[in-house]
Structure 1
Amino acid sequence: MVTVDQSQGPGPISGVGSQTLPPIRACLFDMDGLLINTEDLYTLCADIVLTKYGRPHLPWSIKAQLMGVPGSSHGDTFHSWAQLPISREQFKEEQTGQHRIHFPECKPLPGVEKLLKDLKSAHGTQGLSVEIALATSSHKANYELKTSRPETKAVLDLIPEEHRVLGDDPRIQRGKPAPDIYLLALQAINSSLPEGIPKITPNECLVFEDSVLGVEAGRRAGMRAVWVPHPGLAAEYKGKEKEVLAGRTALYPIGNDEQLGAIDDGRAEQLVSLENFPYDKFGIVVPQDANHPTMDSR
């Protein structure tokens, strides 16, 4: 299990206005469905196999329960719904074959390239640079497939390799919604800071997530969060947004509820996309002359 010096973290959260939030010094990103369009491709791959065996397409009511859970498409929730006439092992093999075909089609989502480039040139209101890291549940083999397209690889390569934590990292004992992967990503950042630069605390981190379990993982890590859900997922959680932002959906209870946020505590918010990101709200300063060409404009 990954541990962190709790003396660096925030104190108990007791509601709106109970604390002054410091400027963000580190942005920690999920990947699938947030930086690249894999959620639509995961659905496509599942639907191809489902259609082959005369089953209906995967609905968001089921998909919403699978997002962010490693191997979830091989578990009870999916197969109890799918009722496929083949074994789980055969479905896994056929779905993996579709992944090999379609994952190389992954593209960055709108606003991602500009956001990452802006953050690489940004600093906080105290003049310290803003660090970025990746915390993805994708294993190395799938990560390489998903980033094999040159434009996609170029965007993900904006995140330093030493700051990328993948789902099969042996140091991760528990997947999301546990906080381990985000605490490990923060450790990777802090271990690379120049001598004399103060270590970054969880309270100075902003987690970017599209999944409900990912938001919970960020909140459990003592970090702030931005939730950017797929429109299909957002529709499934309409009216429950406050619970998602507090990490209190109890989708997969793991205990340690003292790690969770409070409703309307001001430490998480929902965005429609990563375009036109509100840097000022998080104490992030992007130089006025930051004008980055996109991959498509080169």
Structure 2
Amino acid sequence: MCPLKPVTHVIFDMDGLLLDTECLYTRAAEIVASEYGKTFTWEMQVACMGLKARADAKYNIDTLDLPLTVDQYLDKVSRVYKTVFPSAQFMPGAEKLVRHLHKHNIPIAIASGGAQDSFELKTTNHKEFVSLFSHVVLASTDPEVENGKPAPDVFLICAKRFPDSPNPDQCLVFEDAPNGVEAGVKAGMQVVMVPDPRLAQEKTKGSSQVLKSLEDFKPELFGLPTYDD
């Protein structure tokens, strides 16, 4: 791994990183697949992490050979999302880190592969938390994001939208998924990965640091203010 360098801005993925939603996405995909006697697997979930919604849908349709169009698939999973997403809870250490950075006036933002409607559902009970971020870029519904992760678009656009438009190397990305790590690296940013413990070690390559939890993050290693306690 390369030596860690100081940063001035921080960009967070959301699903599986700030909020514990990957299990909810998995549940929705499992329900749709089961309608057709098919099984949605963990390997499929890893492949889908960070993709734009339509790319995610097409991957599942093609992999499971489902008799659905992309729009039909999205309609089915969106019905499940409405019932499960509002229950999303914080991942360990997420709220503490975000509030710490905000308290110390470190510019922070969210860059997610998700869509606006699902984002609203997932943050139903976390509106005040979301207000701490400078801005949110959602790849699936943002017209400026042409390509989803693993392309770097969402991170580059997110960086550009900070008031002072920092250079990519001034930004630190937090990700849980291989697609997101690849996108951050392509954007020219350092990436801290907090993977699902089931993820194969070789899929963590490219990141500047790999942590078991956001609780293990030491801000001072990247030139950020240390925790007060």
TM-score greater than 0.5 by the shorter chain: yes
Q: Which runs of 5+ in 2 are unaligned?
A: none
What pairs with 1:81-230 in structure 2 (closer than 5 Å)? 81-84=63-66, 86-88=67-69, 89-122=71-104, 129-149=105-125, 152-160=126-134, 163-167=135-139, 168-189=141-162, 191=163, 193=164, 200-230=166-196
The SS at the match of 1:96 is helix
SS of alignment partner, residue 135 of structure 1? strand
- SS at 2:209's partner residue? strand
1:271 to 174, 188, 211: 211
Whole-Å separation in 2 of the counterparts to 1:90 and 1:287: 47
In the TM superposition, what whole-angstrom CA distance separates every residue of 1:123-142 from its partner, at most 9, and x where no partner exists? xxxxxx42111111212111
Alpha-carbon spacing, 1:73–1:240, altered in 2? closer, same or farther (3 Å): closer
Aligned AA for 2:218? P
Q: For 1:133, give the aligned amino acid.
A: A
**CA distance in 2: counterparts of 1:94 and 1:165, whole angstroms:** 24
Supply the distance in 1 between the matched residues of 2:154 and 2:73 (Cα, whole angstroms): 28
Q: What is the alpha-carbon distance in structure 2 between the residues aligned to residue 100 and residue 274 of structure 1?
A: 28
**Structure-2 residue corresponding to 1:281:** 221
8 Å Cα contact 1:25/1:130 also seen in 2: yes
Q: Secondary structure at the match of 1:231?
A: coil
Distance 1:183 1:240, change over 3 A: closer
Unaligned runs of 5+ in 1: 1-14, 123-128, 194-198, 246-267, 290-298
Q: CA deviation at 1:212?
A: 0.9
Contact 2:86/2:123, CA 8 A, preserved across alignment: yes
Alignment CA distance shift 1:170-1:52 (3 Å):
closer
Cα shift at 1:238: 2.6
Percentage identity across paired residues of the two chains: 36
- Give the alignment's Cα RMSD to 1 decimal: 2.2
1:227 to partner: Cα distance: 0.9
Question: CA shift at 1:165, angstroms?
Answer: 1.5
Which residue matches 1:30?
A: 13
Contact 1:279 1:286 in 2 (8 A): yes
Shift of 1:181: 1.4
Distance change (3 Å), C-alpha of 1:287 and 1:93 = closer
For each residue in 1:38-94, what CA deviation from the matched residue of structure 2 results, as whole angstroms up to 9, or x when unmatched? 1100011111222333333x211222111111123421x42343244x423543322
Contact 2:145 2:153 in 1 (8 A): yes
User: How many residues matched?
Assistant: 226
| Counterpart amino acid of residue 108 in structure 1 | F
- Structure 1 residues 83 and 275, CA gap change in structure 2 (3 angstroms): same
Q: 1:42 to 1:281 in 2, by over 3 A?
A: same
Q: 215, 226, 238: which one pairs with 2:201?
A: 238
Give the whole-Å Cα distance in 2 for the aligned partners of 1:231 and 1:65.
16
Q: Distance in 2 between matches of 1:139 and 1:80?
A: 21
Q: Deviations over 1:272-298 (max 9, x none)?
A: 111132112111123636xxxxxxxxx
Distance 1:90 1:288, change over 3 A: closer
Return the match for 1:59 from 41, 47, 54. Answer: 41
